[in-house]
Amino acid sequence: MRLDVVTIFPDYLEPLNVSLVGKARARGQLDVRVHDLREWAHDKHNTVDDTPYGGGPGMVMKPEPWGEALDAVIASGEGRPTIVVPTPSGKPFTQALAVELSEKPWLVFTPARYEGIDRRVIEEYGDRLDVREVSIGDYVLAGGEAPVLVMVEAIARLLPGVLGNAESHRDDSFAPGAMADLLEGPVYTKPPQWRDRGIPDVLLSGHHGKIARWRRDEAFRRTTANRPDLIERADPAAFDKKDREM
Ligand code: 6GU
């Protein structure tokens, strides 16, 4: 997969050199290219923002540098990328959207600072390409760079061969399947006693059926406590009598 990021803070994307994403790049599974938007600003101060039409606080990113940058990035590759525009006004970034984007050959991210990008840029590329305005949650950040890091990590770990073993995402919270709609429960490792705290006996029982049932109950308990909205929304067929008694 190819990923391009156009930003006025290329340094903010340095974490893409580290850990899972950095290793995927080193292995050639991901081709990541970070571009400085100011390369496409032509005045003396490399201006990329201006005051909003209609008045109001803050600044708006000018269309010309974004248009030149996107034209150059698009022309540098084969075919048409999917453009991902991070904005608190976008559709929610979910695991389902991460899966959908992980199946695309080429993504271009356009993190903005200030009050956002002149609307005409989104319209212009929306007429020709698949453009997704995406939010990572109901809070406001100063710019879209941190959301790009979040989205790229969620997408990269879904690419074939990026995680150690393909089973690693089977039980993810929000992954489709038997534990669909439930958060993951608690986990334990050695030592078996730590500061007078043991681990649940069932995990030492070797009884795989009982362990699976315990994990499911714990997942249900946690989801009820932390995300009652997920229980409300779930298919009632996903729950059994024991769930309903909890
Ligand atoms: Cl994608 N951008 C900004 N600036 N704030 C956000 C966001 C994105 N998602 C949630 N808050």
Q: Is 138 exposed, middle or buried (0-12, 13-18, 19+ CB in 10 A)?
A: exposed
- Is 34 marked as a binding-site residue? no
Task: Please tell me the least confidently modeled range out of 112-121, 217-226, 233-242.
Answer: 233-242
172 is an active site residue: yes
Residue 147 alpha carbon, nearest atom of ligand 1:
1
The model's pLDDT over 150-187, given as tens digits with 9 standing for 90+, comes to 999 999 999 999 997 655 776 677 776 657 789 999 99
Q: Is the peptide bond prior to 191 cis by the omega test (within 30 degrees of 0)?
A: yes
Distance CA 64, CA 62 (A): 6
Average confidence score pLDDT of the chain? 94
Domain with CATH 3.40.1280.10 in the chain: 2-166
Kindly compute the dihedral angle of the four CA atoms of residues 97, 98, 103, 109, in this order, to the nearest 10 degrees. Answer: 100
Report the candidate in 93, 91, 101 with the shortest Cα–Cα distance to residue 30.
Answer: 101
Identify the CATH assignment for 171-245 out of 1.10.3720.10, 3.30.2020.30, 1.10.1670.10, 1.10.1270.20.
Answer: 1.10.1270.20
How many Å lie between the centroid of ligand 1 and the Cα of residue 21? 21
Query: Is the pLDDT reported for residue 209 higher than 70?
Result: yes
Is 102 in contact with 159 (CB distance < 8 Å)? Answer: yes
Name residue 119's amino acid: R
Query: Is the pLDDT reported for residue 93 higher than 80?
Result: yes
Mean pLDDT over 206-220 rounds to 96
Query: Is the pLDDT reported for residue 200 higher than 90?
Result: yes
Query: Is the pLDDT reported for residue 125 higher than 70?
Result: yes
| Nearest residue (CA) to ligand 1, atom 6 | 88
Domain with CATH 1.10.1270.20 in the chain: 171-245
How many Å lie between the centroid of ligand 1 and the Cα of residue 151? 11
- Is 141 marked as a binding-site residue? yes
- Is 13 marked as a binding-site residue? no
115 is an active site residue: yes
Residue 134 alpha carbon, nearest atom of ligand 1:
1
- Is 4 marked as a binding-site residue? no
Ligand 1 site-directed mutation target among 60, 85, 87, most atoms within 8 Å of CB: 87
Indicate the class that CATH gives domain 2-166. Answer: alpha beta
How many Å lie between the centroid of ligand 1 and the Cα of residue 169? 26
Distance CA 60, CA 44 (A): 19
The model's pLDDT over 51-88, given as tens digits with 9 standing for 90+, comes to 999 999 999 999 999 999 999 999 999 999 999 999 99
The model's pLDDT over 97-110, given as tens digits with 9 standing for 90+, comes to 999 999 999 999 99
172, 184, 217, 218: the catalytic one is 172
Mean pLDDT over 25-46 rounds to 97
pLDDT at 45: 97
132 is an active site residue: no
How many Å lie between the centroid of ligand 1 and the Cα of residue 135? 5
Report the candidate in 109, 107, 103 with the shortest Cα–Cα distance to residue 149.
Answer: 109
How many Å lie between the centroid of ligand 1 and the Cα of residue 139? 7
Cβ < 6 A, ligand 1 pocket: 86-88, 135-137, 139-141, 143-144, 147
| Nearest residue (CA) to ligand 1, atom 7 | 88
